[in-house]
Structure 1
Amino acid sequence: MMPARFKMSKKGVGQLLRSPTVRAEMVRRAEVIKSVAISIAPVGGGAWDPHPGHYKGSFEVSSTDRGGRRRDRATATIRNTAYYARWVEYGTERVRAHHVLLRAAQAGGRG
């Protein structure tokens, strides 16, 4: 019996990395992370918060087949469009960092 042989095609690998199937999987994983982020997002309350729930409701997913450092693969991105999202994520001198997206990616990326 003859051993199996494999010859890699760089062009073929590139096509695979940009394929609709890989892009769909990246979006699926991003949606899982988004769901976790929504579930753990802090919600302000009381009279001091003029927009309670705004941060929690501002997560969105986008995707492209020209992502990555070399723009050669499918990627999906989760972001929060609230203007203060970076302060929730990283904190300030007065508010502790919540690391919502970091924790969501760690918990939900394998779902």
Structure 2
Amino acid sequence: MLKKIFITLVLIFLFLLIVNVVQNVEALSLEGGVIKQSGAFVILLFSLVVIARYFILLLLSLLNILKSLKKAEKESFDYPFISIIVPCYNEEKVIKASLSSLIALDYPNYEI
């Protein structure tokens, strides 16, 4: 819903911008429409439409990025708590290395 409202507002803004530019071009034209006859008016309108298209695509991509960031925040994963049991029998020589390796784990929620 918010996306549709935003797109509508952008289109209204672009329409008003084009109307304003057309009025300014008509006011600046000499001797009753020399600019319209020379084709510069058509080129100006075409340029405005192309620029407006890329502006709309930019805004839509920003909305998509914001939507995906919100979705990623909702999908944050909670790691379950785990217990690590280390069986030891005659392990005097390697127990220190084994425990050091377990302590160095990246898993955030565990006990040994």
Normalising by structure 2, we get a TM-score of 0.28
Q: Which structure dedicates a bigger proportion of its chain to strand?
A: 1
Of Structure 1 and Structure 2, the greater helix share is in: 2
Structure with bigger gyration radius? 2
TM-score normalized by the length of structure 1: 0.28
Higher relative contact order (CA 8 A, sep 6+): 1
